[in-house]
Chain A
Amino acid sequence: MSINKIAFRNVFRQRRRSLLTALTMTGGFVLLSFSFSIMDGTYETAIQKFTKAYSGHVQIHKRGYLDKRSIYSTLNESDNIESGFTDIPEIENWTKRVFSPSLAFRDKKTSAASIIGIQPLNEAKTTSLSDTLKSGTYLPEIPSGNVIIGERLAKILDAGVGGEIVLIAQGADGSIANEIFRVSGILKGGINSPNSLNCYMHIKTAQDFLALYGRYHETAINLTHYSASEAVAEKLRTLVNNDEIDVEPWEVVQKSFYDAMTADKEGIWITVTILAVIVGLGVLNTVLMTILERKREFGILKALGTTPFQIFRLIVQEMLTLSVLAVILSCLLSLAVNTVFTIYGIDYPEPVSIGNIEITTMHGIITFRSFWVPSLLVTGTAFFVSIIPAAMAALVQPVKAMRAS
């Protein structure tokens, strides 16, 4: 027998009250765990879609390219920095790109357009570009005069599949580059799509067009999971070992998206605070009732020689015991609820946009944090809320307490 044992048995003295308190704790836990699961699941989906659509998980550029996208800030194919990629197990695929602003026109219609030279096969493995074709065909692996363009650009230029457009840009040698290209495909995406004004062509075609022979601007790398980005970037920095080359994870490359998402995630702490108050009030009610009802008993315990600290510990331990039991129950319930929502998800009535990525289904995810944060919330709240009432019980005067009915 010990104080722990007495506390454990006291939890079951007022079963209905303990059950209601445990249910309050369980409700708070499950709700918070679900919130974390859905929030983390939604962002997991958004990050995966976002990085798959555009950036990949890690990018390599000439130093300073991300700050100032100059056509002259190039990497050399002869450096062959990809040679060590296969030694890094987290790397799945990679692709090289060339970028340039340009002016596109067709008949009497003109528009700004972004030329992006890609390695068609590698790009298709690294990003979802080939899956976003609305009409026409994807670029062939051999260089050609074909381009695929964004839907908005196609509309502005009134260009359909098979039509021709003219691109004008500044070549890296100072010349004015201009060429007729054939539209082989049109990409999906509305006005907000990052692809809307893009014009993709084979990287060799782009290099010839822009006089960037043997040079390119970017290597985008796809990993087994986005969470490995910083670790892989570090490995790549060591591998590349060149101060003139930047290796950055997607969090840096897509800083505005990452910052917006991080700020949005902070909103969960409002939920945590509200639930802490609800759980706290439930526990406070129970602990105050306990002290009021058992005042005489505390007086007797003190008369028998129980120290104030032992009384304090008894009360706190009772609340902690109740909270631990509630946490065990809550973990099982949350696991079941979160698993269901991880597998089946909930369809949004209308697709929502996160960083220009459309999310149609809200999926949960089972993470360690969706269990430890609610566990800490419930046990921590139970502990802190019971401190003052327990101190009050510990300081009762035995004579006065024993007169209580």
Chain B
Amino acid sequence: MKEIIRTEKVTKIYRTGEIEVAALRDVSVCINEGEFTAIAGPSGSGKSTFLNIISGLDHPTSGDAYISGSRINDISGTKLSDFRRDNIGFVFQSFNLIPVLSVTENIEYVMLLQGIPRKERSERVAAILSEVGLEGMENRMPFQLSGGQQQRVAVARAIVTSPGIILADEPTANLDSATGAALLDMMKKLNKKKNMTFIFSTHDRNIMDVSRRLIVLKDGRIEKDEVRG
């Protein structure tokens, strides 16, 4: 299988005055294309920091992070924005839809940044709305949607450009268990159908159970890295 993410001895230290806190310590991981991976661990174990570093939202204090062979430490500014836009889809814990945009417009947003023509955007949005089960809600605004519906829109926004990697930071944390399970089921199907790489940071036992790979972090180190059948 093709390697899509690799970290080599990534360490991240946060400094507040003279106090130093190591969020990650020498983390080396290799994730292949199409994997459905959960990063688990207690609060403060470094899950979100790990996602931030492999997405280029944050830089490691030492070590290297690669996405599709590109060393992300070397990219900055507008190039980094473009790199994220074209390679990574984000699903956040608190949905983070753009409040002034409708469902359709939120899903279109990244395609707009990519300069995709209107006709193609419309076609892709129509297809993705069907996949995430939001037909008929195209013109609703985020405040008119339930939490589960908003998270589906966020998933649609993340996958609509076929970015290769979907990073989901606690995607079910703000959802009830039934809605969370339905969302997870949807993402699992998308993973199989589109061979997209999903990486979750999570406390959710259901996500850990359905993931093909489980990486457990503790105090910034990998405590367990297990691949299931």
Contact = CB atoms under 8 A, between A and B. Distances in A.
A10 interface: yes
A300 to B, nearest CB: 5
Contact of B81 (A9, A297, A302): A302
A13 B100 contact: yes
The bracket for how many chain B residues form the interface is: 20 to 34
A304 interface: yes
B98 interface: yes
Interface stretch (B101-109, B131-139, B191-199): B101-109
Contacts of B90: 303-304
Nearest to A305: B85
A404 to B, nearest CB: 12
B16 interface: no
Given A1-B105, A13-B100, A399-B57, A306 B78 contact: no
Given A303-B84, A304-B90, A305-B85, A1 B52 contact: no
B99 interface: yes
A10 B57 contact: no
Interface stretch (A140-148, A307-315, A328-336): A307-315
Interface string A366-405: 0000000000000000000000000000000111001000
- Scoring B77, B98, B101 by chain A CB atoms within 10 A of each residue's CB, the highest score goes to B98
A2 interface: yes
Contacts of B112: 1-2
A308 B101 CA distance: 20
B226 interface: no
Interface string B66-100: 00000000000110011011100010100010111
Interface residues of A, number: 22
Contacts of A1: 101, 105, 108-109, 112
B123 to A, nearest CB: 15
Contacts of A309: 78
B57 A303 contact: yes
B113 interface: yes
B108 to A, nearest CB: 6
A159 B105 CA distance: 90
A277 interface: no
B126 interface: no
B78 A307 contact: yes
A398 B96 CA distance: 13
B98 A310 contact: no
B110 A304 contact: yes
A305 B82 contact: yes
Contacts of A10: 100
B58 interface: yes
A228 interface: no
B74 to A, nearest CB: 18
B149 interface: no
A371 B90 CA distance: 48
A10 B100 CA distance: 7
Contact of A305 (B81, B101, B108): B81
Contacts of A307: 78, 81-82, 113
B55 interface: yes
Interface of B: 52, 55, 57-58, 77-78, 81-82, 84-86, 90, 92, 96, 98-101, 105, 108-110, 112-114, 157
25 contacts: A2-B112, A10-B100, A13-B99, A13-B100, A297-B96, A297-B98, A300-B92, A301-B98, A302-B81, A303-B55, A304-B90, A304-B113, A305-B81, A305-B82, A305-B84, A305-B85, A305-B86, A306-B81, A306-B85, A307-B113, A308-B81, A310-B113, A397-B58, A398-B57, A399-B52
Interface of A: 1-2, 6, 9-10, 13, 297, 300-310, 397-399, 402
Given A304-B90, A307-B81, 4 more contacts: A10-B100, A297-B98, A303-B55, A305-B86
